[in-house]
Each structure stands twice: as C-alpha cells, then as structure tokens.
C-alpha cells in the first residue's frame, strides 16, 4: 500500500488576468476563463468565483489523502508570486511553491534574486511558453544561464516544462551540463503523447534531474480513465531511467474538470503493471526526498455517502 502521496505539479491563483503570445487569458464566471481565442472550462463549475485557492485545494488533498503538493507557475495564469508567498508562509508543511519571473523582459535575473530573498526555494520556467509567434527566449541564453548558476549556487530547485518534438531538448541538455548540481524537475512527463518524448525522459539519467507527470491525464484524455496508455508509458519510463527518477503530478486544477482529483492518481494504484515499490516511489517517496517534505499529516480515509 502507498503510504505517502505527494502531488509534484499543481497550480494556484486568485485570478487570471494576463496574456500570452499576444492573446488574453481572463477569469470569467462558473469556473470558466477566456483562454487565448475561446471560452473554456478552466476550473470545475462549482468554483464559481474563479478563485483557485490553497484552501479549496487542501480540501481536495485531504479527501484524496494527498499529504503535500508542489505548486508551479505558468504564464497563462499570470505571475502569482505574491499569493504563493502567502501560501508558503501559511501552509509551509503542505506546499512547496515556486516563484516565477517575466523571462520576456531583460533583467529577470534580479527578479530571481529577489524571489530567493523572499524565501522561495525554487523557480519555475514554463519553457514551452518561451516560444511565441514574435519572440523566443532560449533556455541556454546568457541571462537564463546566469539565473541557473545563481540557483545552483543557492541550492534552489528548477521546475521546467519543455516543448514537444525535442524543440528545446538540446538547450536543456546544455543547462544540465553547465549546472550539474542544480536540482531540476522536468514536467508534463516529457509531453508523453508526442514524438520524441523518450528523449526528454532520458534527461533523468543525469543525477540532478527528475521527471514529473503533471498533465499526464490531460495528455491521455482521449482514452480516459483508467488511462492504460499512461500506465504503459510510466512503465516504459521506469525501464528507461529507473523508478527512483519519476514523480506523480496532477496538473490540478485544470485536469479535474474531466476527472476527480483522486482519479488523477488512483489509476496508478490499481494497475498490475507496476510493483508496489514502484508505485510508492512514483506517488510520493521520490517527491518527499527531492523537495524535502517532512512531518506530513496522517490523512484517514473518509467513506463516501454513496458507498
């Protein structure tokens, strides 16, 4: 039985009011947002005010018996540093939060140093969003490399998602080689349903690199629960880099418009294609060690009214 469950990829925000690639992202009502070119169900419809708060997430976590969560950031949600600093201070035992900079604006290295001074232990770089119609910021650009060296020197963790089809894989390889002591978590399971995803997974053959599965149920949404294709890909990744290099992530809250929060991991618990040891490492133990979680709560199972 899995003893510790930790979510290695989630998001929190109070309001979406931003733009990416020249297109808007705006909170509407009933869990919906205007996303780039269309109205979408960004949150479950019962989150009517559009506020994706730590308290609502904690309620989901407690119900699903998830002890802790890692909160990353994304350009499509806007900078959430101020809110996540509050979350970090209020719920330090349950959340590891990442800061984020505006990497399209030169001088972000100074912003990264300020985030470190504010107590952020990690910085998120949504690398796939650094490629737009009008501009591309490379992961191995001089200021990016300066930021990564600063993070390495100060014991910070890098959360990074990189583009599909190996568009940024070589850039990421250079970062890993230049900063061998920088702890790196690569998200979205290498964009697992796209060509060349295995090359992203193989980056975890480096000692300082881990892979997390945030968004894997979104990537396998067409096959839906119990996500047998996702399980086969997890099995393949374990065979490539080892079970100690992979971490589960939900990509909460966007993924729970289609499934419940618990469903985003219990398909792993129920499969026969992974051993109990592999499940325990993937669902929590690896993340506990990587992020330094300690003194996690014991969350009892609460019977559903429908049972």
Pairing of the two strands 23-27 and 17-20 = antiparallel
Report the distance separating Cα 108 and Cα 106, nearest Å: 6
Report the distance separating Cα 304 and Cα 101, nearest Å: 42
Per-residue pLDDT of the chain (307 residues; tens, 9 = 90+): 567 999 999 999 999 999 999 999 999 999 999 999 999 999 999 999 999 999 999 999 999 999 999 999 999 999 999 999 999 999 999 999 999 999 999 999 999 999 999 999 999 999 999 999 999 999 999 999 999 999 999 999 999 999 999 999 999 999 999 999 999 999 999 999 999 999 999 999 999 999 999 999 999 999 999 999 999 999 999 999 999 999 999 999 999 999 999 999 999 999 999 999 999 999 999 999 999 999 899 999 999 999 8
Residues 6+ apart with CB under 8 A from 118: 81, 85, 99
Q: What is the pLDDT of residue 3?
A: 77
pTM: 0.96
Q: What is the pLDDT of residue 1?
A: 54
- Asked if residue 130 lies in contact with residue 100, where contact means CB atoms within 8 angstroms, the answer is no
DSSP state letters, 104-135: TSTTHHHHHHHHHHTT--EEEEEGGGGB-SS-
Report the distance separating Cα 62 and Cα 267, nearest Å: 18
Burial 88-103 (b: 16+ CB within 10 A, else e): beebeebbbbbbbbeb
Report the distance separating Cα 233 and Cα 228, nearest Å: 9
């Amino acid at each position: 039985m899995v003893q510790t469950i930790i979510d290695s990829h989630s998001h929190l925000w109070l309001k979406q009011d931003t733009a990416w690639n020249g297109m808007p992202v705006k909170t509407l009502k009933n869990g919906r947002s205007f996303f780039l070119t269309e109205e979408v169900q960004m949150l479950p419809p019962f989150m009517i005010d559009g506020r994706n708060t730590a308290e609502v997430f904690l309620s989901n976590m407690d119900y699903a018996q998830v002890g802790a969560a890692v909160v990353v950031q994304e350009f499509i949600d806007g900078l959430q540093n101020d809110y996540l600093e509050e979350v970090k201070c209020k719920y330090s035992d349950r959340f590891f939060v990442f800061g984020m900079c505006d990497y399209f604006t030169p001088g972000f290295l100074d912003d990264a140093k300020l985030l470190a001074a504010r107590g952020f232990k990690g910085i998120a770089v949504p690398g796939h969003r650094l490629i737009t119609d009008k501009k591309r910021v490379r992961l191995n650009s001089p200021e990016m490399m300066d930021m990564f060296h600063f993070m390495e020197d100060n014991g910070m963790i890098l959360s990074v998602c990189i583009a599909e089809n190996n568009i940024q894989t070589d850039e990421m390889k250079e970062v890993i080689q230049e900063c061998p002591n920088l702890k790196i978590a690569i998200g979205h399971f290498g964009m697992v349903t796209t060509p060349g995803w295995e090359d992203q997974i193989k980056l975890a053959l480096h000692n300082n690199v881990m892979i997390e599965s945030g968004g894997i149920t979104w990537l396998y949404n067409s096959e839906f629960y119990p996500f047998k294709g996702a399980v086969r890909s997890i099995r393949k990744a374990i065979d490539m880099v080892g079970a100690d290099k992979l971490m589960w992530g939900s990509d909460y809250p966007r993924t729970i418009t289609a499934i419940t929060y618990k469903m985003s991991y219990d398909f792993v618990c129920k499969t026969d294609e992974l051993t109990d040891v592999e499940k325990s490492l993937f669902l929590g133990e690896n993340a506990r060690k990587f992020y330094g979680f300690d003194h996690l709560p014991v969350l009892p199972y609460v019977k559903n009214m429908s049972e």
